[in-house]
Amino acid sequence: MDIRPEHLDLERTRGLTIHWSDGSSRFYPLGWLRRMSPSAEQRALREEMERNPLTVLPTRPGSDAPLTATDAELIGNYAIRIRFSDGHDTGIYSWTYLKSIEQDMPADS
């Protein structure tokens, strides 16, 4: 079954809500989306954190400000790219990827 989004709602300070073609809907918190970015840089950081729980997380100037989504764009009919206020914009979230990581979402989402 090929599940696709029917409606996307990005709240720039909170997260992304997707209404899927199977009738389900899911809210993806913004901070969680940023941590789970499928970019090569974030994948490597997650792998390093699994190997070494004392990994020092990178910081960026102005990181005291709350994280927001500054922009989003559809990539073909298979994904969305979200640009974050911390400058990260290389993660392309395919619909398949978003569905596959739902089980890893925090319970309070």
Question: Is the Cβ–Cβ distance between 109 and 32 less than 8 Å?
Answer: yes
Looking at the domain assignment, is residue 109 inside a domain?
no
Looking at the domain assignment, is residue 61 inside a domain?
no
pLDDT tens across the length of the chain (109 residues): 588 999 999 999 999 999 999 999 999 999 999 988 988 777 776 677 778 777 666 665 555 789 999 999 999 999 999 999 988 898 899 999 999 988 877 776 5
CATH code for the domain of 78: 3.30.2020.30
Looking at the domain assignment, is residue 62 inside a domain?
no
Which pLDDT score is estimated for 63? 58
Q: Give the pLDDT confidence of 49-76 residue by residue, as tens digits.
A: 778 777 666 665 555 789 999 999 999 9
Which pLDDT score is estimated for 40? 72
Which pLDDT score is estimated for 59? 60
Which pLDDT score is estimated for 76? 94
Looking at the domain assignment, is residue 12 inside a domain?
yes
- Domain hosting residue 23, numbered range: 5-56+67-103
